[in-house]
Structures are given as C-alpha cells and as structure tokens.
Structure 1
Amino acid sequence: MKDLGELRYFLAIEFARSKEGILMHQRKSALELISETGLGAAKPAMPPMDINVKFTNKEYDDHVFNDTNQAEPIVDQGSYQRLIRKLLYVTVTRPYISFCFQNLSQYLQAPKKSHMEEALRIVKYLKKQQDQGVLLSSNKNNVIAAYCDADWVACPNSRKSVTSYAIKMGYSLIIWKSKKQTTVFKSSAEAEYRSLASTMAKIVWIVELIKELGIDVTLMSRCIVIVRLQYK
C-alpha cells in the first residue's frame, strides 16, 4: 500500500477541503461536457429546465395530432443517449438537476428535438454553475432531517406523479432522489402521501445503516406535512 496523501481527485470527482468541510464537485467533468457539446461560446441558461415544459413521446404525439407530419422530428438516438449518460454521472454531485434528468431519461429509445434542446439547456446551466457541488459539513450534528414533495400528474404519457426527496444528516446532504411513482393517483393528496411513505422507508434504512456503523443519530423532533389539494 502507498499513502498518496489527502484525497483530491477520484473517479472524476474533485475534493476541496476547508474549515467548513469537504466540498465534492465535478468542475473538470462539466468543462469537458461543455466542450464536447460545442457550447463553449453559448450563453449560460437559468434555470436548468423550463418549469412549464411537458415532455411527450412519439406515440402520444401521433395519438393527439393524428398526423405524423405535425409531430416533432426524431433526433439521433446515439448522441442523445451519450449525452444523457454523461449527465447521469454529473448528478453524483449536483442533486438539483436530478428532476430534470429523471424527465429526460425516459425518452432514450425515441428522443425528439425538444428533448435534445432541454438536455443541452442543462449543459448550459452547468456552464454557469461550474463549481457547485455537495458540501460534507465539518459541523458535528447527527440529526437526520428529510424533505419530500410530489409533482402530481407530472407525466402526460402515463398520468403518473413524480416523487422527490432529500435527506440530510446535520448540514450535509447524503441522499436525494427523483423518481416516477408506480401507481396513478386520482388526487394530489394521494401522491403526496405516497411520496411521504417512500421517504420514510428510506429514512428507516439509512438510520439502521448508520447505527450499524456505531454512530448515534436522532431524528428531527417535528414533522410538518404539507398536502396541496386540487379541485376541478
């Protein structure tokens, strides 16, 4: 074995140490991705995805328009898949693009022009936020806190909602996820409770894992659940 000193670079993840803690970021990977996509001279985009956009697949367009000429053209499948694969690895230290990636990764088989444009928009966003990452705080705080939400009927193709949650240990973000729910719910309240149930299951798992490592943890004493009801 050989001591290489303090960890600074590993698996394309850069580590910067300070009094506040350890910052994990992927600035080099972001710059390489910007260069490979030819967006070095492009203007940075904010935010990473348009909040009003709703992605659809080719079957949905054919059913709605009843005319293949009105549907968006299909882009090169291979180039889109390579771009999404690279964005997947960037989400290791950039949890704020997880929801965007979750949407775009559903159309790998037949991507459209709008899908590629939004994927390139994320790359433009990374250009503005090159040094952003995940901070592992040096503050010794073993309180587990979790935040979750659900986007009701986020997918127009399947009418399913999307669950998103983030779990923090003290001031450090340790787990995050954005995933489409497996069941179609008739109200936003049902989708919210399903998101809460998924988050609680993950909390139980992470607490037991931390206890096996010999670390004492406590859960946040207050739990606030906000449910948005939508009526027609």
Structure 2
Amino acid sequence: MGNDDSAIRNFEDYLHSTFHIKDLGPPKYFLGIEIARSDKGISLSQRKFVLEIISEAGLSGCRPAVIPIEQNVKLTTLEYDTSLSSSNEDPLLKDPSGYQRLVGKLIYLTMTRPDICYAVQILSQFMHSPKQSHMTAALKVVKYLKGCPGLGILLSCDCNMKMTAYCDTDYATCPMTRRSITGFCIKLGRSLISWKTKKQSTVSLSSAESEYRAMAKTVCEIVWIRGLLSDLGVQIDGASKLFCDNDAALKLVANPIFHERTKHIEVDCHFTREKIQEGTIITRGIGTAEQPADIFTKPLCQRQHAYLLSKLGVFDIYKPSA
C-alpha cells in the first residue's frame, strides 16, 4: 500500500520479474471476507462464512434469535457447579471437538462482527472442558447469526479524520474469578476501526478501578492506531475523544493527587494522564444508555442491543432498502 502510484508499479514489476506474480485488481473476496465498494464506502462482511457455519451446525431451518446471548445466563466450569444434581443435568460433552471447531469459527467471525464479541469471549473460556450448556449457548449465537448473516463493517468514504473512543467495564462479572470485563471500540469519523472484549488480568477492588483499567487499555490502543496511521501518512485531526460512563474514573483522570485507593492502578494513572497532558486524548462523560461499548461487556435486551449496534455503524449490504 502507498500513495505513490509509480513506486507501486515499479515494485510490482520487480516482484513479477522474480516470482511471476499476477495483479488481480481490487480485492472482492479474501480469506472469507467479502469486500464490496460503493459510493458510500467499503463494506467488509463474512456472509458466505456465516451461512457455512449455520449449515454445518444443522440450523438452516431454525427460527432466528434476536440476541446472541441471554441476559440471565451464567456459564461456569464443572468444578463451580454447586450441587451434584446440577452436574448431572449439565454434563461435559463426550466429544468437545465439535464445540471447539464451532467456537474457533466464531472467533474468526468477530473480525467483521462486533455484535457477537461478548458472547464469543465468554464461550472461548470453556474450550478444554465444554458442557452441554456451553454448546447450547454457542448454538444460540448461530441462531442469532441466521437472522443477520450479511451484517458487517462499513468503512465510510465520508470521514472527518477525527478519532473517537468508547470504553466500559462490567464489574466483577465473571462468576468464577470475579474479574471484570473490559470492552472498548474506536471509530475514525463514522467508521468502526477497532474493538475488543477481554477479561481483565487481575481482580479490581472497585468499579472505579476496573473502569480505569479499561480506560488505560483503550488509551494504549488509541496511541498504537495513531502511530500506525502516522506511519502511513494519515494525520488525525486534534486529540482523540475518550468517552467513559463512570464519574469516579473520570475524576481520577483529573485528580493529580495519588492516594491509597489508587496505588493498585498508579501505573495506569500515570500513563493515561501523560497522554492527556500531551494532548493525545480528551476524556468525556457519557450516559450508560448511550454507551456503545456496553455491547462488549454484558448481554443486553433486544431493544438496547439493536440501538447500540446502530451506533457502532455496522451495515448490511444484503438487506433490502426501505
């Protein structure tokens, strides 16, 4: 890639003289990702891959689900079952390979499907000893995909070159370790360019601490993306705005005084404040109901899931226009 057409052609000629390459032109299908161009921008989806997953799971004739994971589901490993009866009702799968293949494909699908990131992150924790409840939850994700197989990312041609980030956590949500879930997403203009759902590596002692850890991880991603774009000759306009829905975490950013409640996260505090002082990021508050990163940290009801998904800027080119 580059912005010098003559240099690119010279490099292609050199490669062709050595390896006999063939220029296939603009990509349309690459490693399962379907690439479509229009006057609105570039669309990335994995519709063919999704249909293959649905067919292999034997769910081609099933009724689609409206959400990828139920709100009241708490998945655990066998040793965390509280009684013998629950263990008998929810046994280990005799052959875990089917579950492992399915979840592996869902992990690959998250490259263009941010809406299933939270569910897949939960399911991927049980790859070694999956239970029947885990397989049921995985099939629930496939049923959800059946309702929107063509959903993908739209890289809009209307871009103001301003970077916006959203971060959130679900405090102590893991029933086995009580670690929090970090979720963030980063947009360049109206285009979603980065997102992540991940369990935090340590147990946080408060919701403010878990939110601040999520904020620090998001700042790291912002700094890396800004550096990458700079190397490619793309300049970001102004500081990147970072939205968080936790007032305590936002006050920690503005408070230059460290005390014993913040000593566990002092490194994160120093790093985040440094980037604020440099003018790399600006922190802002946002209401929980308007927080797009909420979709990466917890299961939501159908209405809120659809609303936050629309705020992420995903697009389905196969859906008939109204």
Query: Deviation at 1:14?
Result: 0.5
Larger radius of gyration: 2
Which amino acid is 1:72 matched to?
A: D
1:214 and 2:233 aligned: yes
The question of whether the paired residues in 2 share the 8 Å contact of 1:146 and 1:166 is answered with yes
The question of whether the paired residues in 2 share the 8 Å contact of 1:145 and 1:220 is answered with no
1:3 paired residue number: 23
Change (3 A) 1:95 1:68: closer
Query: Deviation at 1:69?
Result: 4.8
1:56 and 2:56 aligned: no
- 1:128-155 deviations in Å (ceiling 9; x for gaps): 0111001111113211110111011111
Change (3 A) 1:223 1:133: closer
TM-score, normalising length from structure 1?
0.92
1:86 paired residue number: 105
Which amino acid is 1:15 matched to?
A: I
Instruction: Kindly report which structure 2 residues correspond to 1:200-211, keeping only aligned pairs within 5 A, or say none.
Output: 200-211=219-230
1:116 and 2:98 aligned: no
1:72 paired residue number: 90
Change (3 A) 1:53 1:71: same
For 1:84, what is the secondary structure of its paired residue? Answer: helix
Q: Distance in 2 between matches of 1:111 and 1:4?
A: 43
2:199 paired residue number: 180
2:263 paired residue number: none
The question of whether the paired residues in 1 share the 8 Å contact of 2:165 and 2:185 is answered with yes
Aligned identity (percent) is 48
- 1:141-184 deviations in Å (ceiling 9; x for gaps): 21111011101111100110000000111111111110000111
Which amino acid is 2:60 matched to?
A: G
For 2:73, what is the secondary structure of its paired residue? Answer: coil
For 2:154, what is the secondary structure of its paired residue? Answer: strand
Which amino acid is 2:75 matched to?
A: F
1:131 and 2:150 aligned: yes
Runs of 4+ in 1 over 6 A off after TM superposition: none
For 2:244, what is the secondary structure of its paired residue? Answer: coil
Which amino acid is 2:40 matched to?
A: E
Instruction: Kindly report which structure 2 residues correspond to 1:87-102, keeping only aligned pairs within 5 A, or say none.
Output: 87-102=106-121
Which amino acid is 1:12 matched to?
A: G
1:171 paired residue number: 190
Q: Distance in 1 between matches of 2:167 and 2:241?
A: 14
**Deviates further, 95-104 or 182-191:** 182-191
Q: Distance in 2 between matches of 1:126 and 1:119?
A: 11
For 1:192, what is the secondary structure of its paired residue? Answer: helix
Instruction: Kindly report which structure 2 residues correspond to 1:148-163, keeping only aligned pairs within 5 A, or say none.
Output: 148-163=167-182
Where do 5+ consecutive residues of structure 2 fail to align? 1-20, 249-322
1:143 and 2:162 aligned: yes
Change (3 A) 1:78 1:5: same
Residues matched between the structures, number:
227
Query: Deviation at 1:220?
Result: 5.1
TM-score, normalising length from structure 2?
0.67
The question of whether the paired residues in 1 share the 8 Å contact of 2:34 and 2:44 is answered with yes
2:209 paired residue number: 190
Structure with more of its chain in helix, by fraction:
2
For 1:136, what is the secondary structure of its paired residue? Answer: strand
Name the Cα RMSD after superposition. Answer: 1.7
1:44 and 2:64 aligned: yes
Q: Distance in 2 between matches of 1:206 and 1:127?
A: 33
Q: Distance in 2 between matches of 1:222 and 1:29?
A: 35
Q: Distance in 2 between matches of 1:82 and 1:154?
A: 26
Q: 1:24 aligns with which of 31, 38, 44?
A: 44
